[in-house]
Amino acid sequence: MKKLSLLLVIVTAVVGIITACGTQGKKNRIGTANADVLVVAISADFPPYEYVEKNQYKGIDVEIAEAIGEKLGVEVQVKDMKFSTILGAVASGKVDVGISGISITELRKKQVDFSQAYTTTVQTIIVKEDSVIREASDLFRFGKYRRVGVQTGTTGDLYCTDDIELEGLGRVERYNEGEDAIKALVAGKIDCVVIDQEPAREFVKRNQGLKVLETAYAEEEYSVAIKKGNKRLTKHINQALEQLKNEGTIQKIVDKYINESKEED
Ligand code: ARG
């Protein structure tokens, strides 16, 4: 009798474990944590890619996330967080992906996997209209000691830390949001802000007396960040992006938010 009940316990446990593996432990069809939902991390401080308007998340990345969700047949759930925490959230599985103007870098590839790129950008420099900084190279002159504002954890932060701070050419001031750096620039606390081109243009539009320099600092590609080793999800996201590109959907979304910059001649 004793033996029988022990056997029963073991059988129940084994069946339990197998069932658990089937539902959660084993990855589902597309490799998300929940079969019906794609949880997307954004940092909604980055117009026109992600921002809040009338209590709603809007922007190019939000629409691309939704379009990917549609292709995968899942609901998209947006989680707004500080930019500097997104890659960690992806790496730990707290979210399925990060779609937040995230630029591909070799260093980041050690922490997460990247989908194919869905668009390109450049790092630009914002200064006051009367600034002595006229081109990117003006940031790298010895003896000038520039104070450069960036959003914490962005590529702007990484580049300026390497090229300016560690070279002894100036100081990098890090802010939670790009717009905080802009405020510091307007207040004269820093000499320039290094940030991606389209947000730079938006912020300059909203603030008097600022301009974006013509010369770019660096060229980059935006991509979807996925947990390292999650080949299934990467494959599905890449397939979805491929279809969205071929259909012209990505271009349509980008054009909806960025139009005046497409000068014809
Ligand atoms: N492209 C830059 C990077 O990858 C900045 C992205 C900032 N994104 C945001 N939603 N604030 O670091």
Host H or E run for residue 76 = strand 75-80
Q: Is 51 in the pocket of ligand 1 (CB under 6 A)?
A: no
Q: Is 196 in the pocket of ligand 1 (CB under 6 A)?
A: yes
d(CA 203, CA 238): 31
205 CA → ligand 1 middle, Å: 19
135 pLDDT tier (thresholds 50, 70, 90): very high
183 CA → ligand 1 middle, Å: 18
Are 67 and 249 contacting, i.e. CB atoms less than 8 angstroms apart?
yes
**Which has the closest alpha carbon to 232: 21, 33, 17?**
33
Q: Is 154 in the pocket of ligand 1 (CB under 6 A)?
A: yes
| % of the chain with per-residue pLDDT over 90 | 82
Mean pLDDT rounded to a whole number for the chain:
91
pLDDT of residue 19: 46
d(CA 189, CA 147): 8
Section 45-67 average pLDDT: 98
Torsion sign over Cα 65, 67, 70, 75: positive
Q: Is 155 in the pocket of ligand 1 (CB under 6 A)?
A: yes
Beta bridge partner(s), residue 127: 211
d(CA 188, CA 102): 29
pLDDT at 16 over 60: no
- The tokens for 157 are 């932060």
Please write down the long-range contacts of 91-94, taking CB distance under 8 Å and 24 or more positions apart.
91/227, 91/228, 93/33, 93/227, 94/41
pLDDT at 21 over 60: no
Ligand 1 atom with least separation from CA of 43: 10
Q: Is 179 in the pocket of ligand 1 (CB under 6 A)?
A: no
pLDDT of residue 143: 82
Pocket test for ligand 1, best of 61, 83, 90, 152 (most atoms within 8 A of CB): 83
- The tokens for 47 are 């117009």
Q: Is 175 in the pocket of ligand 1 (CB under 6 A)?
A: no
Ligand 1 atom with least separation from CA of 155: 12
d(CA 151, CA 16): 47
Residue 118's alpha-carbon distances to 115, 250, 254, in angstroms, are 8, 8, 10
Which SS3 state, helix, strand or coil, does residue 111 take? Answer: coil
d(CA 156, CA 195): 6
Section 122-132 average pLDDT: 97
Residue recorded with tokens 């980008």: 254
Q: Is 123 in the pocket of ligand 1 (CB under 6 A)?
A: no
Section 218-233 average pLDDT: 97
241 CA → ligand 1 middle, Å: 20
Q: Is 102 in the pocket of ligand 1 (CB under 6 A)?
A: yes
Section 20-40 average pLDDT: 77
Q: Is 45 in the pocket of ligand 1 (CB under 6 A)?
A: yes
Residue 164 CB contacts under 8 Å (≥ 6 apart), including other chains? 139, 140, 146, 148, 170, 171, 172
Are 186 and 207 contacting, i.e. CB atoms less than 8 angstroms apart?
yes
d(CA 213, CA 162): 21
Q: Is 46 in the pocket of ligand 1 (CB under 6 A)?
A: yes
Pocket test for ligand 1, best of 151, 160, 161, 198 (most atoms within 8 A of CB): 151
